[in-house]
Structure 1
Amino acid sequence: MDDRKLQVLRAIVEDYVATQEPVGSKALTVNHELGVSAATVRNDMAWLEEAGYIHQPHTSAGRIPTDQGYRLFVDRLERIQPLSSAERRAVNRYLSDAGDLDDVVTRTVRLLSQLTHQVAVVQYPSLNRSTVRHIELLRLAPQRLLLVVITDTGRVEQRHIELAEEIDEDHTNELRTLINEKLISQPIVEAPEILSNMPAEARPELRDIAAALGRVLLDAFIDSSEERIAVAGAANLTRSNTPLMGVTPLLEALEEEVVLMRLLGAGSNSNLTVRIGDENDVESFRNTTVVATGYGPGSVVGHMGVVGPTRMDYPATMAAVRAVARYVSEILERNR
């Protein structure tokens, strides 16, 4: 494909996204400075149609892009449209006001939906990719303790522990110190081996309680390793002026966290990805586009993205997803 045909394809995509109407050669020559005659544009459109980049939805209509055409359009984007300075200030202010991790995720998924007018999906930071920031051990009663685990991403897990024997405040503090010495700054995935050796390093009279603490911690890590997903803007699918085949199965799929994890991608990199139509592995999403990226403080701990019709404003959507992921990564980095 030469540059002129690519220019024609870009113009068709941009006009179709903006007007939601099939695009004809006359409209292209009027609305875009292509520097060629309408006849040349028609020839280029005929070539693009034969190559599978555009098609005619019905007789005597203009042309609309195919999934292959959108794919080429995205791959050949010269730049991703940045957020305006006002949008950047609003995003920064809105996310910076967040409190705990739940608030950060809730604000993020709402913000993405509002910015893109699509369905937004945000994965909570994965426990398996996090490290321990602090462990608190509180004595609630002679035979009852409260265990609180805080990760570097701000995730908090709490467990109550019922003991077979009594424990005083001094021994509670001693065990708290031991656990923190062993686990602070350690990856969660290495916790099982560390905890298995911990009782042997406690004083003999505290070893049974240390072993009990280790079991509760392991249970907490295992129970909490299941990924959590936040979704916002599902109503945008029904408001879309582009009909989506099988909206009901799509809405049902958005309620399945396993499906959404596959949708966002299980990769560990932070690259922005755009999957169009049949490029999506999940059957219910093969009439949509998914724009997703990873986020995290230094390394990827989760993914976020949006789901919408293939007829979407790709430059603006890609810019919004990338910008919001960057802001969330900065927030998690500051809170470490």
Structure 2
Amino acid sequence: MNADQRRFEVLRAIVADYVSNHEPVGSKALVERHNLGVSSATVRNDMASLEEDGYITQPHTSAGRVPTDKGYRLFVDRLSEVKPLSTAERRAIHSFLEGACDLDDVLRRSVRLLAQLTRQVAVVQYPTLSRASVRHLEVLAITPARLMLILITDTGRVDQRSVDLGDVITEDNVARIRAMLNASLVGKRLADASAEVAQLPETVPSELRDIATRVSTVLIESLVEHPEERLVLGGTANLTRNVADFPGSLRPVLEALEEQVVVLKLLAASHDPGTVLVHIGEENEAAEMRGTSVVSIGYGSVDKLLGGMGVVGPTRMDYPSTMAAVRAVAHYVGDILTVR
């Protein structure tokens, strides 16, 4: 083991002890707890070198050191790979998420699960509508003069709208409208589908034109992307359990988490369902979040990103376990939503 590798092993041991105990770590404790294979004097020299390079710091006049943001970054970057969860953990995640009945339930369960697994704040972004396509459009007559439209996307979103027709409609004409809509819309992105719907009244037989106009007006509301993007947040109370990790006040962090725009920015870089991203402390753009670390990932399939998810917690976090949990939950959520 060369000197660089040995210093990294010392840093790794300091990170492990500090994450576990939240106490500054001294050389004597490192030698006693970790089989580093070198003397206390060598460990002290390595700690001095790590401190000089900005990877650890001395918070008080005590002999102990704690990792800096730079130290955590080196530690995360040197993880050879995200450790896999155990078979039992993976089975538990799969069975918990498989029990969900719709998109809302899948995302609520995901947030609850991530918060429990990591003991941090979990956040999941709803599938971005611009990336969704129409899977099916059901048209049902709920009265002789009123229709129910049920739009189902490939991301699991279900949107119901009722249409007052102003006149009665036959079952045969309901079937004709249903067939024409599905022929025009199925498989199309929502933006393209809305353009198709706008053209519909001009292409149908004259006896269906008034009905088609009313249906298309209502349907376009479902297809046009809403400017606000929805998030599901859970486990905020976990931050208060780590209040000592936030010198000064937790309030700015809690207020930032309530701002959808701030949280969406935290997830914005998560473009790849296979890659876990870690932003540590000062690497976070929002000033209020610079005392936190954000572990995030995209979810969906290889060729279709649906959204982002992740966790927010103190920089003193168990990065290997947190990264593994975030990746595993994203994998199962992507599977569930892309095969439904």
**TMscore range, shorter length:** over 0.9
8 Å Cα contact 2:55/2:69 also seen in 1: yes
**Percent identical across equivalent pairs?**
55
Partner of 2:95: 93
The DSSP-based 3-state class of the residue aligned with 2:168 is coil
Asked whether 1:22 is paired with 2:24, we answer: yes
Q: Is the 8 A contact 1:128 1:225 kept in 2?
A: no
From 278, 288, 298, give the equivalent of 2:292: 288
The aligned residue for residue 179 of structure 1 is: 181
Residue 271 of structure 2 corresponds to residue 268 of structure 1: yes
Match of 2:161 in 1: 159
Partner in structure 2 of residue 329 of structure 1: 334
2:199 aligns with one of 161, 183, 197: 197
Distance 2:202 2:259 in 1: 43
Deviations 1:120-142 (A, max 9, x none): 10112222111111101112233
Residue 169 (structure 1) aligned with residue 171 (structure 2)? yes
SS in 2 for 1:301: strand
Relative to the length of structure 1, the TM-score reads: 0.94
TM-score when scaled to structure 2?
Answer: 0.93
User: Quick one: which amino acid aligns to residue 279 of structure 1?
Assistant: E
Q: Please give the alpha-carbon distance, in whole angstroms, between the structure 1 residues aligned to 2:65 and 2:72.
A: 13
**Which runs of no fewer than 5 residues in structure 2 stay unpaired?**
none
**TM-fit CA distance, 1:225:** 5.6
User: SS at the partner of 1:137?
Assistant: strand
Give deviations 1:159-212, integer Å, cap 9, x for gaps: 111224432222121111111011111111322322233223211222232233
Cα distance, 1:211–1:189 mapped onto 2, change above 3 Å:
same
Find out whether 1:301 has 2:306 as its counterpart.
yes
Q: 1:310 aligns with which of 310, 315, 323?
A: 315
Instruction: Look up the match of 1:72.
Output: 74
Moved more, 211-220 or 325-334: 211-220
Deviation at 1:267, TM superposition (A): 4.7
Deviations 1:207-229 (A, max 9, x none): 23223322222212236563211
Which residue matches 2:124? 122
Report the CA distance between 1:109 and its aligned residue: 0.5
Query: CA deviation digits over 1:21-71, x for unaligned, max 9?
Result: 111111112222222221111111111111111100011331000001101
Q: Distance in 1 between matches of 2:137 and 2:109?
A: 27
- What is the CA–CA distance in structure 1 between the aligned matches of 2:25 and 2:71, rounded to whole Å? 14
Matches within 5 A, 1:4-153: 4-153=6-155
| Distance change >3 Å, CA 289–CA 160, structure 1 → 2 | same
Distance in 2 separating the partners of 1:258 and 1:161: 34
Aligned match of 1:209? 211
